[in-house]
Amino acid sequence: MSGSKALGGGAGGGARRRRTRCRRCQACMRTECGECHFCKDMKKFGGPGRMKQSCLLRQCTAPVLPHTAVCFACGEAGKEDTVDSEEEKFSLSLMECTICNEIIHPSCLKMGKAEGIINDEIPNCWECPKCHKEGKTSKVTGGTSSADQRSHHREKLERFKRMCLLERRASSSSSSSSSSESDSESDSDESLRGEQGGGSSPSSSSPAPPPPVVYGNSSGGRAERERSRSDPPAVPSPPRPVQMERHLVRPPPTCPEPSCLPLDCGASHIMTRDVWLRVFTYLSHRELCVCMRVCRTWSRWCCDKRLWTQIDLSRQRSITPPMLSGIIRRQPVSLNLGYTNISKKQLMWLINRLQGLLELNVSGCPWPAVSALCQAVCPCLRLLDLSRVEDLKDSHLRELLAPPPDTRTGETQRPLGRFQNVTELRLAGLDLTDASSRLLVRYVPHLTRLDLSQSGNITDQTVHTLTSPISPLRESLTHINLAGCVKVTEQCVPLLRRCSSLQTVDLRSCSLLSSETGQLLSFPSHTSSSSSTSSSSTPSSSSAAAATIAASSSSSTSASSSSSSCPPEDRTLLKNS
DNA sequence: GTCAACGTTTGG
DNA sequence: CCAAACGTTGAC
């Protein structure tokens, strides 16, 4: 409203109240990232302060009505705290109608409050019984007076159309039943179906348990601004104003309600949620999706994020909005988007909502899409697979790994990369040169596993850089894959020996190497970081190292920890040195 | 009064 | 169509 447009008339609503932070959700509790677009705009981060938007990572997931909101009918505030039962709490809480904007106690309504359609994505939000009844036909009520009002109506109309569109899209893709009103979810694809699709819309007269909500604010945030084809989750909840289009996606609560399965007779099934969950752990994701259609309760339980720690959508020809919302709801720890046609916006939208993500695979995706990561903040990420990303060049890798250019004015802290905590990086099959190795040394200092296989332009220089005395990787690397790097020569082998923790090096298919060296090599682990590779290091550490050492002295089969086949030729390296 | 930031408008 | 800018609201 930026405008104080008191849109009088209409369904009796008042000016819409601006929602405000809940101050309780995870997002509200965290601090500003200082790196996102909006943070950089803030004065406190040295920006001009013109955009006046919240940090992308701090967007409230459950925005509430302002404290000053009161009931349109009785003029009093929400009184849900004064009662205990869910039913009463609902009656005495303030509910805001997404259509007429009226805020009212359901108990103050003349008509049956059960006719309202609750939007449990946002607290205290519904389509009030009045609007729902007049419903979709409320449209433009003639040319009532001012242009202002007309434009407001037009806006609402568009809003409504948009909602219908979203709903249609959602319900056509899911086999979901008719009532796709408030609550029904939209997940379509078989591998990821949304939770609680149960169309319990009008009948559910009690507000849903306040769920954590990922509240996609689109206010200027490009990540959120998805629209058209890259629309993120098509959540068919009553829409916010046309231009805003806030996408609400709710991650599952840690333990989805209820704790037992209610039966028609009123009793509960003998098996509780925990027991069912154990059963569900034996099912594939596909099977879980089938189970979700059984009933609302199963639908919720099957969305338990413990069942979805790893989500694999690789090679899906298209990533749809329902898939995206499905991913967010499940909050996976590991996400594989390899060889999909995900768009930049979709990826950005996802990443900003998966703050707990540890592993991300975008191999084989086009660089323009992957470049979304250049604006992401993923402090937790440990594994990043960029193998065979189309058109990824040195300069792109720099963009990706280097910290944002304007690290404030002071530059007091050491500018560490965006992926500074990544320990495993896969860069196979890219068009990188030796220049990229410097980026790795500088910006990904904790790397333990590095895959540079099939990098035709990489030479010994890369190995030199990675293992130089000033490289932190010299200490951290345990596994390096240089298979198929045709420009690498025998010279790299002594260089590699400088790595104190190195366990295996894959040098297969390196045409400049002798057949003896061009193998998967195992290294003994050096307990000390002294340069001379003392073969006296006790075989106390890892099993792989122990196996290697055994291989060097006698000749037991060395079982590499990383790769299944580790030929006895490992010894060649030790012989060489 | 200050600060944060919501939701609309504007300009490219 | 999107990102930036802006007026204004709401918390304190």
- Please tell me the distance from the alpha carbon of residue A350 to that of residue A230, in angstroms, as a whole number: 12
Protein-covered nucleotides on strand C (Cβ within 7 A): 1-12
Residues 6 or more apart whose CB falls under 8 angstroms from that of A431 comprise: A391, A392, A393, A455, A456, A457
- Both tokens of A541, joined, read 């550490």
- Please tell me the distance from the alpha carbon of residue A342 to that of residue A322, in angstroms, as a whole number: 13
Q: How confident is the model at residue A364 (pLDDT cuts 50, 70, 90)?
A: very high
Phi, psi dihedrals of residue A520, rounded to the nearest 5°: -85, 110
- Please tell me the distance from the alpha carbon of residue A528 to that of residue A499, in angstroms, as a whole number: 11
Which pLDDT score is estimated for A331?
Answer: 87
Count Cβ atoms within 10 A of the Cβ of residue A19 and give its class: 0-12 exposed, 13-18 middle, 19 or more buried: buried
Question: Which residue minimizes Cα–C1' distance to C3?
Answer: A220
Side chain identity at A521, as an amino acid letter?
L
Distance A4 CA to C9 C1' (A): 9
Protein-covered nucleotides on strand B (Cβ within 7 A): 4-10
Which pLDDT score is estimated for A192?
Answer: 56
% of chain A beyond a pLDDT of 70: 64
Report the SS3 class of residue A527.
coil
- Please tell me the distance from the alpha carbon of residue A277 to that of residue A279, in angstroms, as a whole number: 5
Query: Could you tell me how far CA A335 lies from the centroid of its own chain?
Result: 8
Stretch A272-285: mean pLDDT: 89
Which pLDDT score is estimated for A516?
Answer: 75
Q: How confident is the model at residue A263 (pLDDT cuts 50, 70, 90)?
A: confident
Structure pTM?
0.57
Of residues A226 and A452, more confidently modeled:
A452
Of residues A387 and A124, more confidently modeled:
A387
At a 7 A CB cut-off, the residues bordering strand C are: A 1-4, 17-18, 20, 23, 37, 41, 48, 50-53, 66-68, 219-220, 222, 225, 227-228, 243
Query: How far from each other are the two terminal CA atoms of chain A, in whole angstroms?
Result: 74
CA distances from A34 to A42, A43, A57, A355, A394 (A): 9, 11, 10, 15, 26
A48-57, A129-138, A238-247, range with the lowest pLDDT: A238-247
Of residues A137 and A403, more confidently modeled:
A403
Q: Which nucleotide is nearest to A58 (CA to C1')?
A: B5
- Please tell me the distance from the alpha carbon of residue A481 to that of residue A521, in angstroms, as a whole number: 10
Distance A52 CA to B2 C1' (A): 15
3-state per-residue secondary structure call for A93-129: CCEEECCCCCEECHHHCCCCHHHCEECCCCCCEEECH
Q: What is the CA radius of gyration of chain A?
A: 29
Tokens 């069942």 correspond to A307
Which pLDDT score is estimated for A445?
Answer: 93
Which pLDDT score is estimated for A158?
Answer: 41
Distance A222 CA to C2 C1' (A): 8
Which pLDDT score is estimated for A208?
Answer: 30
Question: Which residue minimizes Cα–C1' distance to B9?
Answer: A2
Number of helical H runs and strand E runs in chain A: 18, 17
- Please tell me the distance from the alpha carbon of residue A327 to that of residue A305, in angstroms, as a whole number: 10
Distance A228 CA to C1 C1' (A): 10
| Range from A41-45, A133-137, A315-319 that averages highest in pLDDT | A41-45
Tokens 């059960």 correspond to A114
CATH 3.30.40.10 fits A37-134, yes or no: yes
Which pLDDT score is estimated for A254?
Answer: 66
Quickly list DSSP for A240-307. --TTT--EEE-PPPSS-S-SEEE-TTSSEEEEEHHHHHHHHTTS-HHHHHHHTTT-HHHHHHTT-GGG
| Range from A160-164, A173-177, A417-421, A523-527 that averages highest in pLDDT | A417-421
Distance A187 CA to C3 C1' (A): 30
Tokens 């490289």 correspond to A471
Contact A208, A195 (CB under 8 A): no
List the domain boundaries for chain A: 37-134, 270-306, 307-402+417-519
Residues 6 or more apart whose CB falls under 8 angstroms from that of A96 comprise: A17, A65, A69, A102, A103, A124, A125, A126
At a 7 A CB cut-off, the residues bordering strand B are: A 1-3, 16, 18-21, 32, 42-44, 52-55, 58-60, 63, 217, 219-220, 240-241, 243-244, 246
Of residues A421 and A188, more confidently modeled:
A421
Cβ-count burial A86-111 (b if 16+ within 10 Å, e if not):
eeebbbbbbbbbbbbbbbbbbebbee
Distance A375 CA to C5 C1' (A): 21
Residues 6 or more apart whose CB falls under 8 angstroms from that of A6 comprise: A14, A15
- Assigned CATH topology for domain A307-402+417-519: 3.80.10
Question: Which residue minimizes Cα–C1' distance to B3?
Answer: A52
- The Cβ of residue A466 has, within 10 Å, a number of other Cβ atoms equal to 25
Distance A236 CA to C9 C1' (A): 28
Which pLDDT score is estimated for A60?
Answer: 82
Phi, psi dihedrals of residue A522, rounded to the nearest 5°: -105, 145
Distance A50 CA to B9 C1' (A): 14
Q: Which nucleotide is nearest to A19 (CA to C1')?
A: B6
- Please tell me the distance from the alpha carbon of residue A201 to that of residue A219, in angstroms, as a whole number: 28
Distance A67 CA to C11 C1' (A): 9
A5-14, A211-220, A288-297, range with the lowest pLDDT: A211-220
Which pLDDT score is estimated for A11?
Answer: 39
Distance A17 CA to C9 C1' (A): 9
Give per-residue pLDDT as tens, A76-103: 888 888 888 777 888 899 998 888 888 9
| Range from A3-12, A105-114, A179-188, A273-282 that averages highest in pLDDT | A273-282
Of residues A396 and A236, more confidently modeled:
A396
| Range from A256-270, A451-465, A557-571 that averages highest in pLDDT | A451-465
Count Cβ atoms within 10 A of the Cβ of residue A366 and give its class: 0-12 exposed, 13-18 middle, 19 or more buried: middle
Give per-residue pLDDT as tens, A428-456: 999 999 999 999 999 999 999 999 999 99
Q: How confident is the model at residue A379 (pLDDT cuts 50, 70, 90)?
A: confident
| Range from A135-139, A154-158, A521-525 that averages highest in pLDDT | A521-525
Of residues A129 and A544, more confidently modeled:
A129
- Please tell me the distance from the alpha carbon of residue A149 to that of residue A161, in angstroms, as a whole number: 18
Which pLDDT score is estimated for A345?
Answer: 80
- For residue A57, pLDDT over 70 is answered with yes
Q: Which nucleotide is nearest to A16 (CA to C1')?
A: B7
**Average model confidence (pLDDT) for chain A?**
70
Distance A99 CA to B9 C1' (A): 22
Question: Which residue minimizes Cα–C1' distance to B6?
Answer: A18
- Please tell me the distance from the alpha carbon of residue A208 to that of residue A256, in angstroms, as a whole number: 12
Handedness of CA A534, A538, A544, A547 (dihedral sign): positive
| Range from A150-164, A283-297, A512-526 that averages highest in pLDDT | A283-297
Distance A30 CA to C6 C1' (A): 27
Which pLDDT score is estimated for A56?
Answer: 84
Question: Which residue minimizes Cα–C1' distance to C9?
Answer: A18
Q: How confident is the model at residue A330 (pLDDT cuts 50, 70, 90)?
A: confident
Which pLDDT score is estimated for A143?
Answer: 35
